[in-house]
Copies of this chain bind each other. A is one copy, B any other.
Amino acid sequence: MIHYSSIGATGYVSGELLRMMVAHPETELDYVADTFAIGTKIQDSHPQLVGFYDKEIMPLDDNTLELMCRDSDVVFIVAPSGEVSQYAEKIIAAGKVAIDIGADIRFRDVEVWEKWYGQKHPNPQLTYDAFYCIPEVFRKDFPKGQKLISNPGCYPTASTLGLYPMLKEGCIVDNTIVIDAKSGYTGAGRKPDLNKLLTEAENNFCAYALGGVHRHTPEIEQNIAYIQGKDLMKPETWQYINFQPHLLPQIRGIEVTIYATMNKDYTNEELYELYSEFYKDEPFVHVFPQSRAPQTKWVMGTNFCSITPTYDARTKRLIVSSVIDNIGKGAAGQAMQNMNLAFGLPETTGLMVTPMYP
């Protein structure tokens, strides 16, 4: 039985982690902590958990952290940018596993983080100690006994899985990748803001972070560099991409449509075969033919990723549609998959649940 705790208790990602863990047969929750709602029950924040947990939210202080370090095998961290290292340090110092679902330790080169996140990094060493892991891509290099895991961003997960097979094939022309991404509103967090009200957002659609300024851009570029075998400490050698996000009038789900110029021709059927073969041992990746573009609801509430690759011979462009649940495979689900990986369990343990459809 793996004992786990959660730093962060009231947001959507924490709630989804606790919800998905209900189906995991080999875990047990110790503590949840947050900076507010302290003393209330988990189910007061998360009505989906009524009847499933009966714990109170603890203050996010030294005492709680000590209890977690003492009793838990793994601690999941969902915290604001720049605040992770204070928790992660202590957890790994106690010999426990820390899985950070935030962005603090996602870049090998802290300068990339500092540039895009606009802060001085509080603990560069921690970032070197971390292992960033989309299991389907990075698992082969997963260090035995790794204590600190950086859980990838939602958009980078969907984008990287959509690009991975063709990058490995080596037939994408440098600097031609454009990723047009769309996300449900859980991706924007649970803090009440005007633009997130149903009255503003429903039956509506818009871009945001227009013009190449979204922070997930360099994370995808780093993943591409990794797949291409480039030096992650030399971002000047990476290729540039455009990543442009939009907000969908729906709760969950990310779709990315990836465009890239190819140096080789394929038929749609060949691409389907190639992707299917490439991912044939990956239980969380489903590949579909050109006639069946994936829908975000096909993966809702799960750790699955559905991908349809196509090719336009007129323009010599690869066009791939890749979907995940932003708080499933894009956050909580992948964190569980990484936990399974770190603890030597089958990666699918507790994660072979059906999506909610319709």
What per-residue 1/0 map shows which CB atoms of A282-303 lie under 8 Å from chain B?
0100100010011111101100
Q: How far is the CB of A87 from chain B (nearest CB, A)?
A: 25
A211 touches B48 (CB 8 A): no
B290 touches A211 (CB 8 A): yes
**Selected interface stretch from A62-70, A102-110, A178-186:** A178-186
Q: Chain copies in the assembly?
A: 4
B182 touches A48 (CB 8 A): no
A203 contacts which chain B residues (CB < 8 A)? 184, 202-203, 250-253, 297, 300
Known contacts A192-B193, A317-B242; is-contact A198 B251 (Cβ 8 Å): yes
**Selected interface stretch from A77-85, A147-155, A222-230, A307-315:** A307-315
Q: Which residue of B47, B192, B202, B290 is within 8 Å of A298 (Cβ)?
A: B47
A312 contacts which chain B residues (CB < 8 A)? 211-213, 242
Decide yes or no whether A51 CB sits under 8 A from chain B. Answer: yes
Decide yes or no whether A2 CB sits under 8 A from chain B. Answer: no
Decide yes or no whether A171 CB sits under 8 A from chain B. Answer: no
Q: For chain A residues 203-260, which have a beta carbon within 8 Å of chain B?
A: 203-208, 210-213, 240-242, 244, 246, 248-253, 255, 257, 259
A274 to B317, CA, bound (A): 30
Chain B residue with Cβ nearest A209: B293
B357 touches A356 (CB 8 A): no
A210 touches B321 (CB 8 A): yes
A246 contacts which chain B residues (CB < 8 A)? 182, 255, 257
Decide yes or no whether A41 CB sits under 8 A from chain B. Answer: no
A71 contacts which chain B residues (CB < 8 A)? none
A353 to B21, CA, bound (A): 11
Q: Which residue of B46, B180, B208 is within 8 Å of A180 (Cβ)?
A: B180
A255 touches B296 (CB 8 A): no
A295 touches B356 (CB 8 A): no
Known contacts A198-B196, A259-B178; is-contact A250 B249 (Cβ 8 Å): yes
- Most chain B CB within a 10 A radius of its CB, from A202, A294, A296, A311: A202
Number of interface residues of A (CB under 8 A): 85
A204 contacts which chain B residues (CB < 8 A)? 250, 253, 295-297
Decide yes or no whether A120 CB sits under 8 A from chain B. Answer: no
A185 contacts which chain B residues (CB < 8 A)? 197-199
What per-residue 1/0 map shows which CB atoms of A342-358 lie under 8 Å from chain B?
00000000001111111
A180 contacts which chain B residues (CB < 8 A)? 180, 244, 257, 259
Decide yes or no whether A49 CB sits under 8 A from chain B. Answer: yes
A207 contacts which chain B residues (CB < 8 A)? 255, 257, 293-294, 308, 321
Decide yes or no whether A265 CB sits under 8 A from chain B. Answer: no
B259 touches A242 (CB 8 A): yes
Decide yes or no whether A94 CB sits under 8 A from chain B. Answer: no
A residues touching B (Cβ–Cβ < 8 Å)? 12, 15, 19, 22-23, 46-52, 175, 178, 180, 182, 184-186, 190, 192-194, 196-208, 210-213, 240-242, 244, 246, 248-253, 255, 257, 259, 268, 283, 286, 290, 293-298, 300-301, 304, 306, 308, 310-312, 314-315, 317, 319, 321, 323, 352-358
Show 19 A/B contacts (Cβ-Cβ < 8 Å), sorted by A: A15-B357, A51-B283, A180-B180, A185-B199, A192-B194, A200-B358, A202-B202, A202-B251, A205-B248, A205-B295, A206-B323, A207-B308, A211-B319, A242-B312, A242-B319, A244-B259, A249-B250, A259-B259, A356-B356
